[in-house]
A and B are shown apart, each in its own frame.
Chain A
């Protein structure tokens, strides 16, 4: 039986081929057929999860919460030295220097990635801003958020820090971060669903030894990962509790 693997759609599109390579490597290593299905938006992916069409997922922290608590997924691993942080940026010519200078009516450009949206809305709170006194344009890709800022179609843009850093130098030169989160304890997690649970230990040990073999190192490189580290149930539960405190 083929199992479905997916990746939260908030990663840099430049890493798509890296995930296909990873999928091929993992199939061979654990001797199980895996089909990689990438969704264009968080909502499409959430629909697939709701329909039980996902067995293995590299999930953003927000989706990981629902998957572990409601869908019985098991945490397996996370990328070492990578935490999920968010950046709020403005056009480099904007007079806004910090969050507290923002006022009612601020125009936001954002993707529908729930964890980035949540972290950034929290970072707007010190200015007294919330859903009701801001307006949001939703975009499918971070590059479109940069465009909104460059054209002054938005006052602030919400970015996943990693994705912001991977924008071209040309683009970054025309933008300016006004705040970045320093949360440190929120990560994407690789999770195994109930239908693939029998392979959980296999998958985990394969991932943990990936950095030790030359093929594995190449695969990691394509994902821009140093190595995988194990995530036990309690570590995931701790992160989920933390996400819960942040959710509205």
Chain B
């Protein structure tokens, strides 16, 4: 995946070099500017079995600040934020591969370097007994829960 570009970033930023599970690396740029998911809106995406994005809805596009064609076909880690512990995602993958529902608070990185918090749920799409992909739905989280998650994630 291409490094994030300073031209796309609004505000003062820091750098972080990610090494993803598939062996690739990416330089991420991030600011401390938060965007709030408006009340009543749900962010929806679907991936194939490898976590490659195959579909997103309009709120996903708006909150991530990417264009739709920059998202489709990309690994879902395009949204990974440096403050998110790897343990959260290994738990996610373990749960959904065992066909269980995963819930968690997630801080995501926007194309402009900003971030947004959501309460996310991920489930396996099971068709005729096989897992054909995954669906995730995110909603607005309460500030109190976000504060708890922030503290917890610093310790992981």
> CB distance A241 to B142 under 8 Å?
no
> CB distance A242 to B135 under 8 Å?
yes
Q: Footprint of A on B, CB under 8 Å?
A: 38-42, 44, 46, 57-59, 101, 119, 121-123, 125, 127, 135-137, 139-145
* Sampled A-B contacts (20; CB under 8 Å): A100-B143, A123-B39, A125-B119, A126-B39, A126-B141, A126-B143, A128-B145, A179-B40, A180-B40, A182-B41, A182-B42, A183-B42, A184-B57, A185-B57, A237-B127, A241-B135, A242-B44, A245-B122, A245-B123, A245-B136
Partner of B123, one of A125, A185, A244: A244
> CB distance A246 to B119 under 8 Å?
no
Partner of B140, one of A125, A241, A245: A125
- CB neighbours (8 Å) of A122 from chain B are 139
- CB neighbours (8 Å) of A181 from chain B are 40-42
Partner of B125, one of A98, A123, A183, A237: A237
**Closest chain B CB from A116 CB (angstroms):** 13
**Closest chain A CB from B137 CB (angstroms):** 4
Provide the A83-115 mask, 1 if CB < 8 A to any CB of B, else 0.
000000000000000111000000000000000
> CB distance A127 to B59 under 8 Å?
no
Nearest A residue to B119 via CB reads: A125
**Closest chain A CB from B105 CB (angstroms):** 12
Provide the A204-248 mask, 1 if CB < 8 A to any CB of B, else 0.
000000000000000000000000000000100110011011100
List of 10 A-B pairs having minimum Cβ-Cβ separation, nearest first: A245-B121, A245-B137, A128-B142, A181-B40, A241-B135, A179-B39, A126-B140, A179-B40, A182-B41, A126-B142
CA distance A244 to B125 in the complex (A): 10
**Closest chain B CB from A245 CB (angstroms):** 4
CA distance A197 to B38 in the complex (A): 42
Contact residues on A (Cβ < 8 Å of other chain), bracket: 20 to 34
Nearest B residue to A184 via CB reads: B57
Nearest B residue to A243 via CB reads: B137
> CB distance B39 to A99 under 8 Å?
yes
CA distance A127 to B119 in the complex (A): 13
Nearest A residue to B134 via CB reads: A241
Nearest A residue to B46 via CB reads: A238
CA distance A130 to B122 in the complex (A): 21
Known: A123-B40, A237-B127. A242 touches B58 (CB 8 A): no
Q: In the complex, which of the residues B40, B121, B135 has the most CB atoms of chain A within 10 Å of its own CB atom?
A: B40
- CB neighbours (8 Å) of A237 from chain B are 125, 127
> CB distance B40 to A184 under 8 Å?
no
**Closest chain B CB from A99 CB (angstroms):** 5
Q: In the complex, which of the residues A99, A183, A237 has the most CB atoms of chain B within 10 Å of its own CB atom?
A: A183
CA distance A162 to B142 in the complex (A): 27
CA distance A126 to B139 in the complex (A): 9
Nearest B residue to A122 via CB reads: B139
Nearest A residue to B127 via CB reads: A237
Beyond the given pairs A182-B38, A242-B137, A245-B101, 20 more chain A to chain B contacts, judged by CB atoms under 8 angstroms and listed by A's residue number, are A123-B39, A125-B119, A126-B39, A126-B140, A126-B141, A126-B142, A128-B142, A128-B144, A128-B145, A179-B39, A179-B40, A180-B40, A181-B41, A181-B42, A183-B41, A185-B57, A234-B127, A238-B125, A238-B135, A245-B135
